Amino acid sequence: MTFDQQFSKVSERLEEYREEMINLQRELVSRVAVGPDQGGSGEGEKAAFLQKLLTSWGLKVDNYPAPDGRVPGGRPNLVALLPGRRHEKVWVLSHLDVVPPGDETLWDSDPYTLRVDGDRLIGRGTEDDHHGIVASLMAVKALLDLGITPARTVGLVLVADEETGSGYGLDFLLKTQPHLFSPEDLIIVPDAGNPESTLVEVAEKSILWLRLILLGKQSHASRPQLGKNTLRATAHVIVALEALHQEFAAKNPLFSPPESTFEPTQKEANVGNINTIPGRDVFYLDCRVLPEYDPGEIRARVEAIGKATAEKFGVSLSVEVVQELRSAPPTDPDSPVVKALVAAIREVYGREATPQGIGGGTVAAFFRQRGLPAAVWMTVSNMAHQPNEFTLLSNLVGDARVFAHVFLTEA
Ligand SMILES: [Zn+2]
């Protein structure tokens, strides 16, 4: 069979898998995989289900669990291989974990029961990152069902802990099994993209997550002069930190948005009642920093601005680093993995994709830090981490076809 014949057979087959894709999404959504850092019990149930499924297809599946005292059996990291004509590999890495539902009143239905509404598959994790899991698995299944041997050996990697730092996921896997991956391999990470399928992400901003702790003095709210109100100080600190946008104003057109971002996000609960002046407040800052800047510099400025502002209210402030992930060298926009993806997207979606940078948060940085060229791509509805998260079935079929195109290409 020629390449064109193979690809058209695989495409036909993938169109027939719509029901199977819905069913796989349903199974994945029902197996809650929230990491212990976010109050969950980990990815074990979902990983066991997928390991069994892939093994039943005849694939060799290895688990490299990262020990985690909070989770019996550790945090699973699955690697499944479909042998190709060549030893060099094409990898698709997706993550097993999901974020919690957030405010459940914002959901129109149970986050952990798949709901189908036309083309929409709704439920926690359907986009982030079941979309990557389902599309890549179905592409492999189509090859298996049709008895087609891919050009390169296809590797499916399903990691834990992407949402809370990857210390028990890809970072662990790369540290303990470095021989798995080679710079000759093509590495695709379906974990971000745009709705037009045209964003092939090759560079990331540095990620800096900071915890700001304000300590004052608790007192009765009727006698505020006896306390030091940390919530008022917190509000002023948040406003003062807007200065970061002017101090670190560089723009880089590879990225969207083109500048560094500094967002106050989580705020820990303080006092449990209305008539108490809070004496301790903790909030978090999520910074996405252009490669032009050193995250250490940002942290120092946050500390200086924060302290100067808090002092005006008689409140002390300290800053802790929760996560600091320095941006890795970008993947070459002319690398084989980018070219293979761009060609596949052109064939399947009829659009010209372009290599770009994004705000970070994908695991591709761990590959790039080790000189492994990885490209992040999938078609998204921009619903990750949102209430009523959904992905589109039509995009699952399309993205599976893109993966199959890459698997069949002699890149
Ligand atoms: Zn994700």
- What are the pLDDT tens digits along the chain (411 aa)? 899 999 999 999 999 999 999 999 999 999 999 999 999 999 999 999 999 999 999 999 999 999 999 999 999 999 999 999 999 999 999 999 999 999 999 999 999 999 999 999 999 999 999 999 999 999 999 999 999 999 999 999 999 999 998 999 999 999 999 999 999 999 999 999 999 999 999 998 999 999 999 999 999 999 999 999 999 999 999 999 999 999 999 998 888 899 999 999 999 999 999 999 999 999 999 999 998 899 999 999 999 999 999 999 999 999 999 999 888 888 988 999 999 999 999 999 999 999 999 887 678 989 998 999 999 999 999 999 999 999 999 999 999 999 999 999 987
**CA 243/CA 58 separation, integer angstroms:** 57
Of 43, 68, 97, 127, which is the active-site residue? 97
Helix (H, G, I), strand (E, B) or coil at 26: helix
Measured in residues, the chain has a length of: 411
Distance 376 CA to ligand 1 centre (A): 11
Helix, strand counts (H, E) of the chain: 11, 17
| CA 216 – CA 174 distance, rounded (Å) | 43
Distance from Cα 127 to the centre of ligand 1, integer Å: 8
Is 108 assigned a catalytic role?
no
Catalytic choice (43, 127, 162, 281):
162
Known catalytic residue at 161: no
What's the one-letter identity of residue 174? L
Distance 64 CA to ligand 1 centre (A): 20
- What Cα–Cα distance (Å) separates residue 82 from each residue in 106, 138, 140, 153, 403? 41, 13, 8, 6, 14
Q: Which amino acid, residue 342?
A: V
| Cα(95) to centroid(ligand 1), Å | 7
Residue 384 C-alpha to ligand 1 middle, in angstroms?
A: 7
Cα 231 to ligand 1 centre (Å) = 32
**Using an 8 Å Cβ cutoff, are 148 and 10 in contact?**
yes
Q: Are 9 and 148 in contact (CB under 8 A)?
A: yes
The answer to whether residues 41 and 31 touch, using CB atoms and an 8 Å cutoff, is no
Across the strands, what pairs with 284? 211
